Amino acid sequence: MSVERHTAETPAGERELPLVLLLRPLFPRFHVALTHKFRFLKPWESQLPPDEFLAAHAGAVRALLCSGPTPVDAELLASLPRLELVVASSAGVNHIDVAACRRRGIAITNAGNAFTDDVADFAVALLIDVLRKISASDRAINALPDICNSYGVGHVANLDKLGGKRVGIIGLGSIGSAVARRLGAFGCTILYHSKRKKPSVSYKFFSNVTDLAAESDVLITTCALTDETHHIIDKEVMLALGKDGIIINVGRGALVDEKELVRCLMEGEIGGAGLDVFKNEPVVPQELFHMDNVVLTHHQAVFTPESFDGLLEVVMGNLEAFFSNKPLLTPISE
């Protein structure tokens, strides 16, 4: 295997580590673990402008590790003629020009199932919080401690139970399936929309998201963000969901028409929302901060030690497989 020589000479008798391009710094723990196995090119540490740095190393770069949402667009890909692999540290790859990678024969891997359980748990937690107004009650009690004596803990009106809810899941992949299993245990009826019907499940399938919304009390988005799923929850879907309906988004912000969501919430056309992702992160629409029927978190569903252990294992495994000419662990198929 031919890789670029390090700027410092490799000591005699030592095997040179495979070279990987980074576009932004890794989490310190990841960096410590991975630098035992790979050498990293770090454009931000160079005195050269990024384009000149990439041009200087383009002939040696076969693998790129994309940490976080850093864009990997057609222009970047064109500057790396020997690139064969893009390793994403996320489950979604909407920040990567997948079509351009396909045209150039570049493989893409993602986080696989590393985040599945924690994101599914978080989706259920958001839903329970919205229904039972846990965060709203916490805010009220902290603001007015004596309110417990006057009104009782349940003073925030219109608490609602989870059991028996009809939950429409948009995207019945690994995360969506994990959400379905959890909510099934609560006694919810599971409905779903996906690119195609899943013969392995008995849940009712809807080919149209508006029809799914019309039969659901809750919509949960767990699908990938693509051109087809952009604003998959739009005004029509929200109106079909109705004034008591709840939207939970743990996928990507742009799966939901955020402007229409704010309007529908303000005008009482839907019942509430639990949002871990937003269109222009980290910016959150200001109107949402003042609604007791909305629970907001900052893209934190995956932030557990267990998720990051799983991600590190997947990232390392994909890079090791690539440089050993073995099958990749989590290649994306579409």
Catalytic residue, chosen from 281, 287, 298, 306, is 281
The residue segments making up the domain with residue 86 are 19-114+306-323
Q: Is 190 helix (H, G, I), strand (E, B) or coil?
A: strand
65 and 206 in a single domain? The answer is: no
- Report pTM: 0.89
Active site residue 287: no
Report pLDDT for 159: 83
Report pLDDT for 1: 33
If pLDDT is split at 50, 70 and 90, which confidence band does 334 have?
low
196 and 276 in a single domain? The answer is: yes
Could you tell me which residues come within 8 angstroms of residue 188 by beta carbon, excluding any fewer than 6 positions away?
A: 162, 163, 164, 165, 166, 167
190 and 291 in a single domain? The answer is: yes
141 and 159 in a single domain? The answer is: yes
What element of type H or E holds 258? helix 258-266
Q: Is 233 helix (H, G, I), strand (E, B) or coil?
A: strand
Catalytic residue, chosen from 132, 155, 299, 313, is 299
Kindly state whether residue 331 falls inside one of the protein's structural domains. Answer: no
If pLDDT is split at 50, 70 and 90, which confidence band does 68 have?
confident
Q: Which residues, in sequence order, are bridge partners of residue 88?
A: 66
Q: Which CATH number belongs to the domain containing residue 276 in this structure? A: 3.40.50.720
If pLDDT is split at 50, 70 and 90, which confidence band does 197 have?
very high
Each residue of 10-22: b (16+ CB within 10 Å) or e?
A: eeeeeeebbbbbb
Kindly state whether residue 8 falls inside one of the protein's structural domains. Answer: no
Catalytic residue, chosen from 57, 62, 193, 252, is 252
Q: For 59-203, where are the E strands, in sequence order?
A: 63-66, 85-88, 107-109, 166-170, 189-193
Mind listing the pLDDT tens digit for each residue in 269-296? 999 999 999 999 999 999 999 999 999 9
Is the confidence at residue 154, as pLDDT, over 60? no
Is the confidence at residue 239, as pLDDT, over 60? yes
Active site residue 299: yes
Active site residue 5: no
Kindly state whether residue 5 falls inside one of the protein's structural domains. Answer: no
